[in-house]
Amino acid sequence: MAIADLGAVLRGAPKVELHIHIEGSLEPEMTFALARRNGITLPYADVAALRAAQQFTDLQSFLDLYYACTAVLRTAEDFQDLMLAYLARAAADGVVRAEIFFDPQVHAERGVAMATVIGGLTAGLREGQRQHGVEGALILCFLRHLSEAEAEQTLQQALPFLDQIAGFGLDSGEAGNPPGKFSRVFAACRALGKPVVAHAGEEGPAAYVRDAIDVLGVQRIDHGIRAIEDPALVQRLAALQMPLTVCPLSNQRLQVSPDLREHPLPQLLAAGVCVTVNSDDPAYFGGYLNANIAAVQAATPLTAHQWLTIISNSFQASLRDDAWKAAWQARLAAHFAEGGMLPAEARSR
Ligand code: HPA
Ligand code: ZN
């Protein structure tokens, strides 16, 4: 098989998605369907008008629309349907496991209880596993534009559901909301034995990536691309093998990296950083995981060997055990080999 078939090998490869906000998978069609079901009037005439509103100048302009659309999510059934729709799309892209963010504080503001949100999402995970064979895990994200006291209150509300929460994260508006604002609540999460991750270095400076590691004790950085501005930090990320969950179409659409030909992913990869590719908010940014991979490949073509590394990293960076990772990494390498992309052959290209 020739190099021309790399696209097909990538589309069919088994993968892990590590950076997906379930609320960011709310497609305009489903937004209108749920609005009708729940008797909510949207400030958009139709699906086309809502899609047309998906023009973003920065992270906040996106968050404004993203939070507004969550108004249609009311019942456990809504959250279940949302999760199942995402898992169907993920399965079509070869995703075998997804570690999925959710924002309970956004829903609490509208009076939707933690039990409703988690109950619906876990029902969706069970159904997605049954129908599509994708395994999923939930990561509860605290909203960084709110106070640490509010995050601590959210953690209290989550305690009865700890068995259904794989880890904790930090998202929303980054500028002016440094990791250190959440040092105590993250320490509490770690004391509960839960892994923690955080968005850092998306719009915020490289120093926030450093602080997420040193102050919050994260085991993964979401985005992290502005680390490229600090060569010593890039070296440290590589030495630590600290994974970055990079989201190319998100970076493009939020004007973090408007031209994908200049995106730092290849440079971070060359520096030995454990980079992964993910979709962030696919209903808003123009595509799911395979669309992100295709967009990178169109802008800055990488070799089969480089892609094998990136996708293998997604297994390595997951919250699963080493035996599971090794088994899937072997299957992934076999998939590349069967597609004519033997690692040795790929390396020589
Ligand atoms: N950054 C911060 N917060 C978010 C994002 C993001 O890309 N998507 C959803 N919430
Ligand atoms: Zn994100």
Q: Give the pLDDT confidence score for residue 319 in this predicted structure.
A: 98
> Quick one: what percent of the chain has pLDDT higher than 90?
97
Q: Give the pLDDT confidence score for residue 105 in this predicted structure.
A: 98
Q: Give the pLDDT confidence score for residue 344 in this predicted structure.
A: 55
pLDDT for 242 beyond 80: yes
Given the residues 23, 174, 202, 203, the one annotated as active site: 202
Which atom of ligand 1 lies nearest, measured to the CA of 250? 7
pLDDT for 284 beyond 80: yes
Buried b / exposed e over 27-52, threshold 16 CB at 10 Å, is bbebbbebbeeeeeebebeeeeebee
Q: Is 21 in the pocket of ligand 1 (CB under 6 A)?
A: yes
- State which of 22, 250, 257, 280 you would mutate to test the pocket of ligand 1, scoring each by most atoms of that ligand within 8 A of its C-beta: 280
> Quick one: what percent of the chain has pLDDT higher than 70?
97
Q: Is 251 in the pocket of ligand 1 (CB under 6 A)?
A: no
Mean pLDDT estimate for the chain: 96
pLDDT for 3 beyond 80: no
From 297, 233, 219, select the one nearest 260 (Cα to Cα): 297
Closest-CA residue, ligand 1 atom 2, reads 172
3-state secondary structure the chain: CCHHHHHHHHHHCCEEEEEEEHHHHCCHHHHHHHHHHHCCCCCCCCHHHHHHCCCCCCHHHHHHHHHHHHHHCCCHHHHHHHHHHHHHHHHHCCEEEEEEEECHHHHHCCCCCHHHHHHHHHHHHHHHHHHHCCEEEEEEEEECCCCHHHHHHHHHHHHHHHHHCCEEEEECCCCCCCHHHHHHHHHHHHHCCCCECEEECCCCCHHHHHHHHHCCCCCCEEECHHHHHCHHHHHHHHHHCCCEEECHHHHHHCCCCCCHHHCCHHHHHHCCCCEEECCECHHHHCCCHHHHHHHHHHHCCCCHHHHHHHHHHHHHCCCCCHHHHHHHHHHHHHHHHHCCCCHHHHHCC
pLDDT for 2 beyond 60: no
* Spacing, Cα 202 to ligand 2 middle (Å): 9
Q: Does domain 3-27+76-343 have CATH number 3.20.20.140?
A: yes
Q: Is 280 in the pocket of ligand 1 (CB under 6 A)?
A: yes
Closest-CA residue, ligand 1 atom 4, reads 172
List pLDDT tens digits, range 135-155: 999 999 999 999 999 999 999
Closest-CA residue, ligand 1 atom 10, reads 172
pLDDT for 348 beyond 50: no
Domain boundaries, the chain: 3-27+76-343
Q: Give the pLDDT confidence score for residue 349 in this predicted structure.
A: 45
* Spacing, Cα 249 to ligand 1 middle (Å): 13
Q: Average the pLDDT over 112-120 and give the result.
A: 98
Contact predicate 50/97, CB 8 Å = no
127 belongs to the catalytic site? no
- Res. 343 pLDDT band, cuts 50 70 90: low
Q: Give the pLDDT confidence score for residue 138 in this predicted structure.
A: 99
